[in-house]
Amino acid sequence: MSLKIRLARGGSKKRPYYQIVLADARSPRDGRFLEKLGSWNPLLGRDDEKRVQLDADRIKEWLAKGAQPTDRVARFLDEAGLVKREARNNPEKAKPGKKALEREAEKKQKAEDAAAAAAE
């Protein structure tokens, strides 16, 4: 059974509130979980100490037993100094797709044709 430390959404529509929980990887996002390990309130300011609350001792125990944090939770744990998260870098993501390249080439061709017609 693989365990995940992940977020479970609560709160009302457009007013999110998340619990940081330990759950089986197969259980639904807001479904059954084993233990509540903290909370995250994204509506509070970034400098507010109540924005992210963690039970550090329990999280350390579960990490030692092999629980894997999700990427968002790993960010919180990295800020708290519990887990070292490597920054991701995907230089391919910023490159335009095939269709965008085709449109750009077509636009350039039209500009060249217009310039050639104006020169004649």
53-111 pLDDT tens trace: 999 999 999 999 999 999 999 999 999 999 888 888 888 888 899 999 999 999 999 99
Provide the pLDDT for residue 1: 63
pTM, to two decimals: 0.72
Q: Is 28 exposed, middle or buried (0-12, 13-18, 19+ CB in 10 A)?
A: exposed
Q: Is the dihedral of CA 89, 92, 97, 103 positive or negative?
A: positive
| Cα–Cα distance measured from residue 107 to residue 38, given in angstroms and rounded to the nearest whole number | 53
Complete domains list, the chain, with CATH? 3-80 (3.30.1320.10)
Helix segments in 3-119, DSSP class H: 56-64, 71-80, 98-119
22-67 pLDDT tens trace: 999 999 888 889 999 999 999 999 999 999 999 999 999 999 999 9
